[in-house]
Structure 1
Amino acid sequence: MKIVAADEPRTSRRYALLLAARDSEYVLKVYGGYFNVFVSAFGSGGDGDGNGDVCETWDMFRAVDGELPDLDDVGRYDGFVISGSPYDAYADELWILRLCLLVQGAVAARKRVLGICFGHQVVCRALGGRVGKARRGGWDIGIREMAMAATLPPWRFLDALRDLPQYAKITECHQDEVWEAPLGADVLASSDKTGVEMFCVGDHVLGIQGHPEYTGDILLSLVDRLSTSQTITVSFAEDVKRQLEATSPDREFWLKLCKSFLKTEESYY
């Protein structure tokens, strides 16, 4: 099944959102599903992208249910966004293996590929890197401060990082991580919890461990679900809620970076 965000008479860009998670009741009720969350965050006309006059089409594929574009259709898209997921990126379920093959095909065709959380990990795996359970153990949920790399590659989409202080905060919710970035990748950020918080391969692959697309209420709803299901303890959930009252992510920066990655035409200086 494919869902199209807009009519297609004259589109200048086309993107595929590959959903690796199912919609929660809260996100369905408040946002109409994760499709709307991602398109609002990364699509034309969202926060501060400066591209409101650019016509875009976004197609959704429920990768978690085995829905993926055919490899022959990769050329129809300018970019692919892979979402987070409750599943393990290193698992060998058929849909995950097929997703890895699609990533390889998209990268070979030099399409933009943006991986978020699980997506970040599965892109790493598909390109030969290593992923697994967080080496420091346990969940990382809440606001995490990333340290940006001192030296950045010359890609234009990274201009937002060049004007940024050394640290930036992002929303996190994961218990797996990238152990080793793919050969030829540049590690762009790390944290005291995770060694590879963000990486790129050239100007056409970007992986981010955190969730730029999450709003505070989405994270709070997720924390409540994890607590109710006893996946995390009540005290852990309360600690996260107190942190969210005290601080917030640099969300506008992360949205600007992701949009710049997906939409910047020039490759390097």
Structure 2
Amino acid sequence: MGSGKRFAVLRCAEDSDYVKKRYGGYFGVFVGMLAEEGEIWDVYAVAAGEFPADDEIAGYDGFVVTGSCSDAHGDDIWICNLLNLLKKLDTLKKRVLGVCFGHQILGRAVGGKTGRAASGWDIGVRCVHLTPAAAKLFPSLKLQQQQANKMVLSVIECHQDEVWELPPKAEVIGWSNKTRIEMFRCGDHLMGIQGHPEYNPDILLHLIHRLLHRNLISEACAEEARANLEAWEPNGEETLKKLCISFLKGRL
């Protein structure tokens, strides 16, 4: 029997033709990572002004906020509307998983500050260190133990913005040598991840090509990112996906 649970992806960017054809867009990418048999998944193109109505919100068990080429610290109309929606979901204690831009806008919605990363673009694979608090928050998961008993996950990254600071009610649960706030959790219902657990190397390589073609990154930056990805030895990738699923489904 199906679970009957219903989830919504709040898509914060237009799909590229490549991702649309190969993966069914980023909605397809997230559904492929998170969905389980019997669930219903919907998508709202929030960057195009499409939002769930108030009477629709109650019908969802959780929401996923995707990445975007827009700035989470911006004040575009749709971004302001998304902030209002996220504040409403927080008040209703609806589960929300924010990824990359979604992580940043979620941090802003709960009272944090976001902006350009002082260290510039972070593209490739990054070792994310989970804090001791993460083990307490996720006791049902066997988190990867490495590097002198520290919990480390390899995560694909592609961002030039970051969460600068969070309010006291939110807790940092992951950091890297490039980004101080890689993961955070607020209460039992909000979680942000700066990296991209939904990405695979093919998606990242295509994105690097697009960024380079649009002169948003330099050739040197692109080469470094490709080399970084080529040397990647996946560590904890499935654990991170399982963490996302378990959080969103309320199993932690």
- Partners of 2:84 and 2:109 lie apart in 1 by 7
Note the C-alpha offset of 1:163.
5.3
For the Cα contact (< 8 Å) 2:153–2:237, is it kept in 1?
A: no
Residue 159 of structure 1 aligns to which amino acid in structure 2?
A: S
Residue 140 of structure 2 aligns to which amino acid in structure 1?
A: D
Residue 15 of structure 2 aligns to which amino acid in structure 1?
A: D
For the Cα contact (< 8 Å) 2:12–2:45, is it kept in 1?
A: yes
- Partners of 1:84 and 1:18 lie apart in 2 by 10
- Partners of 1:68 and 1:127 lie apart in 2 by 19
Note the C-alpha offset of 1:236.
1.6
- Partners of 1:161 and 1:101 lie apart in 2 by 35
Residue 29 (structure 2) pairs with residue 33 (structure 1): no
Show the counterpart of 1:145.
Answer: 127
For the Cα contact (< 8 Å) 1:11–1:57, is it kept in 2?
A: no
- Partners of 2:237 and 2:74 lie apart in 1 by 30
Residue 25 of structure 2 aligns to which amino acid in structure 1?
A: G
- Partners of 1:264 and 1:122 lie apart in 2 by 22
Once the two structures are superposed, the pairs formed by residues 115-134 of structure 1 within 5 Å of their partners are 115-134=98-117
- Partners of 1:247 and 1:214 lie apart in 2 by 13
- CA deviation vs aligned residue, 1:64-123 (integer Å, no higher than 9, x gap): 101111233221110000000000001111100111111111111111100000000001
Once the two structures are superposed, the pairs formed by residues 51-200 of structure 1 within 5 Å of their partners are 54-136=37-119, 138-152=120-134, 154-155=136-137, 157=138, 159-160=140-141, 162=143, 164-165=145-146, 166-200=151-185
CA gap 1:18/1:248 in 2 versus in 1, 3 angstroms: farther
Note the C-alpha offset of 1:11.
5.4
- Partners of 2:247 and 2:197 lie apart in 1 by 13
Q: Which of 1, 5, 9 lines up with 1:13 in the alignment?
A: 5
For the Cα contact (< 8 Å) 1:61–1:67, is it kept in 2?
A: yes
Task: Give the secondary-structure state (helix, strand or coil) at the position aligned to 1:132.
Answer: strand
For the Cα contact (< 8 Å) 1:143–1:248, is it kept in 2?
A: no
For the Cα contact (< 8 Å) 1:12–1:56, is it kept in 2?
A: yes
For the Cα contact (< 8 Å) 1:153–1:186, is it kept in 2?
A: no
Task: Give the secondary-structure state (helix, strand or coil) at the position aligned to 1:258.
Answer: helix
- CA deviation vs aligned residue, 1:112-144 (integer Å, no higher than 9, x gap): 1000000000011111011111022x2100001
Give RMSD over aligned pairs: 1.8
- Partners of 1:210 and 1:108 lie apart in 2 by 26
CA gap 1:158/1:119 in 2 versus in 1, 3 angstroms: farther
- Partners of 1:60 and 1:38 lie apart in 2 by 10
- Partners of 1:252 and 1:151 lie apart in 2 by 20
TM-score, normalised to structure 2's length?
0.92
Task: Give the secondary-structure state (helix, strand or coil) at the position aligned to 2:141.
Answer: helix
Q: Which of 212, 216, 228 lines up with 2:201 in the alignment?
A: 216
For the Cα contact (< 8 Å) 1:42–1:258, is it kept in 2?
A: yes
Q: Percent identity?
A: 45
Listed as ranges, the gaps of 5+ residues in structure 2 are none
- Partners of 2:51 and 2:93 lie apart in 1 by 18
Residue 157 of structure 2 aligns to which amino acid in structure 1?
A: E
Listed as ranges, the gaps of 5+ residues in structure 1 are 1-8, 45-53
Task: Give the secondary-structure state (helix, strand or coil) at the position aligned to 2:71.
Answer: coil
For the Cα contact (< 8 Å) 1:144–1:172, is it kept in 2?
A: yes
TM-score, normalised to structure 1's length?
0.87
Show the counterpart of 1:207.
Answer: 192
For the Cα contact (< 8 Å) 1:128–1:183, is it kept in 2?
A: no
Task: Give the secondary-structure state (helix, strand or coil) at the position aligned to 1:58.
Answer: strand
- Partners of 2:142 and 2:103 lie apart in 1 by 18
Task: Give the secondary-structure state (helix, strand or coil) at the position aligned to 1:23.
Answer: coil
Aligned length: 247
